[in-house]
Amino acid sequence: MASDQKVHTFDEVVQHNKTKDCWLIIDGKVYDVTPFMEEHPGGDEVLLSATGKDATNDFEDVGHSDSARDMMDQYYIGEIDKATVPLKRMYIPPQQAQYNPDKTPEFVIKILQFLVPLLIMGLAFAVRHYTKEK
C-alpha cells in the first residue's frame, strides 16, 4: 500500500461507477478496480452493483479467498472520509404512473370486447332464423 494515503469523499467515489472507471469502498478503504473488471470471476456486473455504497457487506457475503484479499492491495488508492458516507442509503422507489380510479377507457374496451361478439352472434342467429326456408 502507498505510504501517502489519500482521503476520498463519498461523493467523489460515487462518481466512479462505470465499467471503464469503477471504484469501490470496502472496510473504509477505496479501491480502483477498473483494471480488474474483465477478470473478475463474477463478472463486471457484480462490481458495478457494489458502486455508490459501502460494499463491505457485499464483499464479505461472497466469502472471498485469502488470495483475493491479498490481490486487493494492488487496487488500493486511499481511504474514505467516513464523515461523508451516509449512515443509511435512501431508497428511492421507481416512478410509477399515478393511480387513476376512473378507468373509463379501459372499462369501455372490456365491455365492448364482451358485447361485440354477442351482437355478432345474435345477428347471425337472426339472419339464420329469418332466412331459413319453411
Each residue's pLDDT tens digit, 57-101:
888 888 888 888 899 999 999 999 888 888 766 555 555 556 666
Q: Are 13 and 25 in contact (CB under 8 A)?
A: yes
Q: Is the pLDDT of residue 49 over 90?
A: no
Higher pLDDT, 106 or 26: 26
Q: Which pTM value belongs to this model?
A: 0.61
Residues 6+ apart with CB under 8 A from 14: 51, 52
pLDDT at 35: 92
What average pLDDT does range 32-38 have in this prediction?
90
Tell me how far the alpha carbon of residue 69 is from its chain's centroid: 27
Cell of 12: 467523489
